[in-house]
Amino acid sequence: MPLAFRMMWTCFMIHMKPWQIIENLPENQIGTCVLDMSSNLFRGSPETLLQATAKQELYFHLGSICCAWPRVITAPEKNVSP
């Protein structure tokens, strides 16, 4: 595994804590695409995921969205000076 990818993956695991999100999904929905009621990808925290699930504000999609491949979008850097 290339070093850059390994570093990115390690940062993701430390800061995003994906297991917290997985723990808050209904068991039968793990592995599905989590969408809000407007069909946008859910981008909330583990806490808001729990709340939205309880309020039935999410849609769990089994297949692909318009045959799209997933992609990682990094957050823009804040206060970056040239």
Q: Is residue 2 part of a domain?
A: no
Residue 17 falls inside a structural domain: no
**Which tens digit of pLDDT belongs to each residue from 40-78?**
888 888 888 889 999 999 988 876 656 666 665 666 666
Confidence category of residue 34, pLDDT binned at 50, 70, 90: confident
User: Is 37 inside any structural domain?
Assistant: yes
In a domain, 82, yes or no: no
CA–CA gap between residue 75 and residue 38 (Å, rounded):
22
| Residue with tokens 């407007």, as numbered in its chain | 38
Count: domains in the chain: 1
Query: Is position 57 within any domain?
Result: yes
> ∠ CA 9-11-16 to the nearest 5 degrees?
95
Q: Determine, yes or no, domain membership for 38.
A: yes
Question: Is 47 within a domain?
Answer: yes
Look up the domain containing 48 and give its range: 27-65
How many angstroms separate the CA atoms of 46 and 43, rounded?
10
Does residue 51 form part of some domain? Answer: yes
- DSSP-based three-state secondary structure for 77: coil
